């Protein structure tokens, strides 16, 4: 008890490993998606509360200064949520990297759409909740390589504002068949509220590099500074590292009796108790794809509740 487990394994293995660690009294950080089903998410949340441990989700975009600023602007200045379009990709050679599990135990939506779905859940916390998910896909490339999985997946999510029941729409697209380009992963979103809009291009931060013998590249040292300083690692200030550092600092504060795990449900860290919506959206998307695009409704206990308790096929 008191030790920390950091879980970065294939998506379908997260639940069993995390639950074992929690039940041993360990604090746990899991890469996104924390689990693949709402049922498993509930079990982890109950176990974390019972064992009084911190269970977090490694969603480093919350520490990206561009994303964090966009979130604050959206919550304070842009009015009710209207529309969001997000896109994230990986080059098609990643299909070879992930061939052991691609289409067998997870898909590209769980792997990549989880980033921007978490951004929406974080941004709209206490303001709006997702109520319906419809999924569509593109196919061809992966199947030509013998992998029975989608090339690209788009989730269309209907969000409902809590105070006046107005509606907004989020569209989240992920792909792992992109061509090679100046970046490893295209990552961007457009957010519109009733009083303003925001564009964020995470892949292009205004820094480009050209070297003999290497392809032209757009780099993002805000995420990770790969170039050493005087021969030593110097990426400590990148938000990719800080996401780990913040979690370890929180665990230390809990172990020293300065904080309780519930103190971190304020959004400073993505925890198992504050990320139910993201898991529900991803599972509903998979269910929709498997049902040939049928919309899936997220069910809540009450009109003001924000944690979904069930997913049901939408009836027309």
Instruction: Give the CA radius of gyration of the chain.
Output: 20
**Cα 75 to Cα 291: distance, rounded to the nearest angstrom:** 35
**Cα 150 to Cα 286: distance, rounded to the nearest angstrom:** 11
Host H or E run for residue 201: strand 196-201
Return averaged pLDDT per consecutive 10 residues of the chain, 316 residues in all.
89 97 97 97 98 96 96 97 97 89 90 96 97 97 93 98 97 95 95 98 94 93 92 94 95 95 92 98 98 97 95 94
Tokens of 243: 């996401």
Angle of CA points 27, 32, 35, to nearest 5°: 75
Q: pLDDT at position 57, please? A: 97
Q: pLDDT at position 99, please? A: 86
Answer whether 277's CB lies under 8 Å from 308's CB.
Answer: yes
Q: pLDDT at position 103, please? A: 84
Q: pLDDT at position 22, please? A: 98
Q: pLDDT at position 60, please? A: 94
Q: pLDDT at position 90, please? A: 93
Q: pLDDT at position 267, please? A: 82
Q: pLDDT at position 104, please? A: 87
Q: Which residues of 87-122 are buried (b: 16+ CB within 10 A; e: fewer)?
A: bbbbbbebbeebeebbbeebbbbbbbbbbbbbbbbb
Give whole-number Cα distances, 234 to 63, 210, 241, in Å: 18, 21, 11
Give whole-number Cα distances, 213 to 122, 163, 207, 209, 216, in Å: 41, 57, 19, 12, 10
């Amino acid at each position: 008890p008191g030790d920390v487990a950091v879980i970065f394994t294939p998506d379908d293995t997260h639940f069993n490993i995390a639950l074992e660690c929690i039940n041993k009294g360990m604090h746990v950080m899991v890469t996104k998606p924390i689990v693949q089903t709402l049922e498993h998410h509930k079990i982890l949340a109950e176990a974390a509360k019972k064992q009084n441990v911190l269970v977090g989700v490694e969603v480093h975009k919350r520490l990206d200064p561009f994303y964090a600023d966009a979130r604050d602007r959206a919550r304070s200045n842009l009015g009710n949520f209207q529309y969001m379009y997000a896109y994230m990709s990986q080059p098609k050679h990643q299909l070879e990297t992930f061939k052991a599990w691609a289409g067998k135990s997870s898909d590209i939506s769980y792997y990549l759409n989880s980033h921007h779905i978490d951004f929406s859940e974080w941004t709209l916390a206490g303001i709006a909740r997702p109520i319906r998910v419809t999924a569509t896909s593109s196919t061809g490339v992966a199947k030509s390589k013998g992998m029975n999985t989608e090339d690209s997946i788009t989730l269309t999510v209907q969000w409902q504002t809590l105070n006046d029941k107005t509606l907004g729409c989020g569209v989240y697209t992920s792909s792992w068949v992109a061509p090679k380009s100046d970046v490893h992963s295209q990552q961007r979103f457009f957010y519109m509220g009733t009083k303003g809009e925001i564009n964020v291009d995470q892949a292009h931060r205004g820094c480009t590099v050209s070297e003999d013998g290497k392809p032209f590249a757009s780099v993002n040292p805000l995420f990770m500074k790969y170039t050493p300083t005087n021969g030593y690692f110097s990426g400590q200030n990148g938000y990719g590292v800080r996401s780990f550092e913040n979690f370890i600092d929180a665990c230390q504060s809990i172990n020293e009796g300065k904080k309780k795990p519930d103190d971190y449900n304020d959004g400073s860290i993505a925890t198992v108790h504050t990320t139910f919506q993201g898991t529900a959206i991803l599972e509903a998307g998979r269910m929709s794809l498997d049902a040939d695009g049928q919309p899936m409704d997220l069910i809540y206990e009450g009109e003001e509740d924000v944690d979904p308790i069930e997913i049901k096929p939408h009836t027309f």
